[in-house]
Amino acid sequence: MTSLRRKFLIGTAVGLTALSLALLVLVAALYQHQLSQERSLASREINHLLQAALENAMLKRDLPGLRDVVDRLGRQEGVRNAMILAPDGEIRFASDPALIGQRFPLSDRDVCPDCLDQTGARALPTLFTRDIHGREVMRSLNPVRNKPACAGCHGSPEARPLNGVLVVDYDAAPIRHKAVVSAATLGGMGGLLLAVTLLSSAWFIRRHILQPVSCLAEASRALSDGRLDSRVTLDGNDELANLGNVFNRMAANLQDLIRRTREQEAFLQALVDAIPDGIRVIDTQTFRIVLDNQAYRDQLALPEGMEARGLTCHASSHGRDTPCPASLATCPIYEIGRSGKPLKTLMEFNRHDGRKTKVEVFAAPMQAHMEGQERRYIVESSRDLHKVVTFSQEQRLAEMARLATGVAHEIHNPLTSIRIALQATLRATQQEPERYAVFRDYLELVDGEIDRCIDVTERLLKLGMRPPETPQLVDVNRAVRETLSLEHWEIAERGVELGIQWLEPSPRVLASDTELRLVALNLIQNALHAMPKGGRLHVSTSIEGGWARIAIADTGVGIREHDAARIFEPFYSHRADGVNGTGLGLSICKAVVEGYGGRIEFASQPGVGSCFYVLLPQANHHTHP
């Protein structure tokens, strides 16, 4: 039984029961009063007869006859006693002879014989009481009025309006029994009416109120559980049916609103996920991430389906239980909260797989009205520096490939045409060798120089070729030597003395010939940049414990101690010749070498020079750094 039905039935039952009891008491009282009135009327009728008989007996002086009337009246069924009282209360006649001569307490019954007028404006009471024997009786008091005919014995009616009082005691038990039976009958009918009313009310409430309300409650519960297609079907055209229709419209509108909201959220998430840089939005009050994208999750190497949303920023990217100390790290929340301006900084993220990655972070403030109040957020865009280095490397390779292609078209093809014409001239001079001997020497010299130019273009083409998808066997000496040959002009221009020491036979590694040449080119150029006033450049190859080693040493300005820890960071540049570089050369070299299982080491002394070592596993070894 539902709470509403129980409350209704209990309330209805209590109300109807109280009403029935009140009606029962009222009806019983009215019924008893009616019986008393009927007895009083009967007593008055008897009184009229007795008064007539009394007047007749008094006029005739027939007191025995009057006594006989009273005796007969006392023997009637339902009558306990009958008495005639004198005005002073003395019992003159009684059906019970033992009462004759006794005093009846008229004053206790609020009877004043001298106060009654001839018209009977005031009637004597009829009441339930107990007689001399302790029996319950209904006592009817009826005045016997004085008349002019009785004035001879009783005086004038004006002076003595009352000759006496007729008292009749009726047995109260039958009256009470009849009243109880009537009340019980009425109570039974009331109980039956109450039961019928409760049953019909319960059916009505269940059919027209509780069932519709239950349907509405079930649909509301389903709606709150996320089943947005929940609807109610209520028959009729009453208020609850109208409420059901309103509920259905509300549910449809809510479903449409939530659908559009989810579509907008999905669109926003897809839009954010499409951004190549890592994005996270941080609540400045709770330090919790309220939005992130796939690039950010990839930077942290999170498993598929795992989100950083809901985590604190310091726990997500730094593995800390508490916020990062502002004195030890650049915290965008603290810095922007202090200055109110966007900032750019470098961070190191702790990945989910235990590794660390360096990122460049752009952070900016944002305000939004959320949950009824103005909230402040920090929007961070993090760029993976490893990807930046890779992209820059690919970009540089693409630029060199375009350069090599241009050289091939602008130099290689004309040189080939010149060589063909030159060889045709040489063949023509063979017909008279003595005559054109001097010309042949010059032409052969030109032919050799053309071969050298073509060889240089081929080296540029090799430097600009895209690396293969799988490592290939690379001759270390050849790759470094041919790359070094491209820098001969700059070496001579800067007044740098060149020293070379090649290990024979040449070490071989599994790598990309193009990328290895690019690493050597970057390190050679860095060494030349460190010697703006000339010096000595020494390039050598060797093998140490299964490692192929390339050493490039210079006698330049060296690397200061506070710069040594940052030289491999992307975008960090500090050239001795004063030229602003991109700061990506060493980062690219480090990424390439580590990609093939190697490493880069260096030793430097300010004012003396530096030496960079490239170590790669030999092709016939499986040593790891």
Q: How far apart are CA 293 and CA 96, in angstroms?
A: 116
Per-residue pLDDT at 261 exceeds 50: yes
DSSP, collapsed to helix, strand or coil, labels residue 195 as: helix
In a domain, 284, yes or no: yes
For range 35-53, the mean pLDDT: 64
Q: Which candidate, 71, 128, 130, 134, places its Cα nearest to that of 97?
A: 71
Number of domains in the chain: 4
Most confident of 322-326, 487-491, 597-601: 597-601
For range 51-80, the mean pLDDT: 74
- pLDDT per residue as tens digits for the range 363-377: 999 988 877 788 899
What's residue 277's pLDDT? 87
Q: How far apart are CA 231 and CA 363, in angstroms?
A: 47
In a domain, 219, yes or no: no
What's residue 623's pLDDT? 43
Q: How far apart are CA 412 and CA 260, in angstroms?
A: 63
Q: Are 40 and 85 contained in the same domain?
A: yes
Structural tokens at position 394? 């690919």
Per-residue pLDDT at 437 exceeds 70: no
- pLDDT per residue as tens digits for the range 404-421: 555 555 566 667 667 777
Q: How far apart are CA 316 and CA 321, in angstroms?
A: 10
In a domain, 302, yes or no: yes
Q: Range with the lowest mean pLDDT among 113-117, 145-149, 327-331, 363-367?
A: 113-117
Q: Range with the lowest mean pLDDT among 237-241, 259-263, 458-462?
A: 458-462
Per-residue pLDDT at 457 exceeds 70: no
| Domain closes at, from 347, 362, 390 | 390
For range 288-314, the mean pLDDT: 87
Q: Are 378 and 521 contained in the same domain?
A: no
What's residue 358's pLDDT? 81
Residue of higher predicted confidence among 594 and 152: 594
In a domain, 447, yes or no: no
What's residue 507's pLDDT? 92
Q: Are 59 and 171 contained in the same domain?
A: yes
Per-residue pLDDT at 352 exceeds 80: yes
Q: Are 505 and 565 contained in the same domain?
A: yes
Structural tokens at position 249? 């419209």
Residue of higher predicted confidence among 27 and 221: 221
What's residue 553's pLDDT? 94
Assign 3-class secondary structure to 292-340: ECHHHHHHCCCCCCCCCCCCEHHHHHHCCCCCCCCCCCCCHHHHHHHHC
Q: Range with the lowest mean pLDDT among 113-122, 226-235, 580-589, 608-617?
A: 113-122
| Beta strand pairing call for 496-501 and 535-544 | parallel
Q: Which residues touch 596 (CB under 8 Å, ≥6 apart)?
A: 471, 509, 510, 511, 512, 616, 617
Tell me the C-alpha to C-alpha distance, in Å, between residue 102 and each of 46, 96, 150: 23, 11, 24
For range 251-255, the mean pLDDT: 87
Q: How far apart are CA 18 and CA 25, in angstroms?
A: 11
| Beta strand pairing call for 136-145 and 472-475 | unpaired
- Region class of 545: left (phi > 0), else alpha (psi between -120 and 50), else beta: left
Q: How far apart are CA 449 and CA 470, in angstroms?
A: 36
In a domain, 381, yes or no: yes
What's residue 622's pLDDT? 46
Contact 272, 291 (CB under 8 A): yes
Q: Are 286 and 355 contained in the same domain?
A: yes
Q: Are 73 and 126 contained in the same domain?
A: yes
What's residue 480's pLDDT? 92
Q: Are 483 and 357 contained in the same domain?
A: no
> Within 10 A of 145 (CB to CB), how many other CB atoms are there?
19
Contact 142, 51 (CB under 8 A): no
For range 84-108, the mean pLDDT: 81
Q: Are 73 and 44 contained in the same domain?
A: yes
| Domain closes at, from 115, 147, 178 | 178
CATH number reported for the structural domain that contains residue 618 in this entry: 3.30.565.10
Average pLDDT of the chain is: 77
In a domain, 579, yes or no: yes
Q: Are 375 and 474 contained in the same domain?
A: no
In a domain, 420, yes or no: no
What's residue 371's pLDDT? 73
For range 221-225, the mean pLDDT: 82
**Is omega for the bond preceding 505 within 30 degrees of 0, making it cis?**
yes
If pLDDT is split at 50, 70 and 90, which confidence band does 281 have?
very high
Per-residue pLDDT at 513 exceeds 80: yes
CATH number reported for the structural domain that contains residue 374 in this entry: 3.30.450.20
Q: How far apart are CA 270 and CA 133, in angstroms?
A: 106
| Domain closes at, from 390, 422, 449 | 390
What's residue 118's pLDDT? 41
Q: Are 234 and 157 contained in the same domain?
A: no
Per-residue pLDDT at 247 exceeds 60: yes
- pLDDT per residue as tens digits for the range 146-196: 777 676 676 777 777 777 788 888 877 777 777 677 767 766 776 777 677
Strands (E), 172-319: 278-283, 289-292
Q: Which domain holds residue 159?
A: 3-178
Q: Are 101 and 135 contained in the same domain?
A: yes
Contact 319, 288 (CB under 8 A): no
What's residue 616's pLDDT? 94
Residue of higher predicted confidence among 17 and 597: 597
What's residue 1's pLDDT? 45
Q: Are 118 and 149 contained in the same domain?
A: yes
Q: How far apart are CA 521 and CA 608, in angstroms?
A: 22
In a domain, 221, yes or no: no
Q: How far apart are CA 167 and CA 39, in angstroms?
A: 12
If pLDDT is split at 50, 70 and 90, which confidence band does 580 have?
low
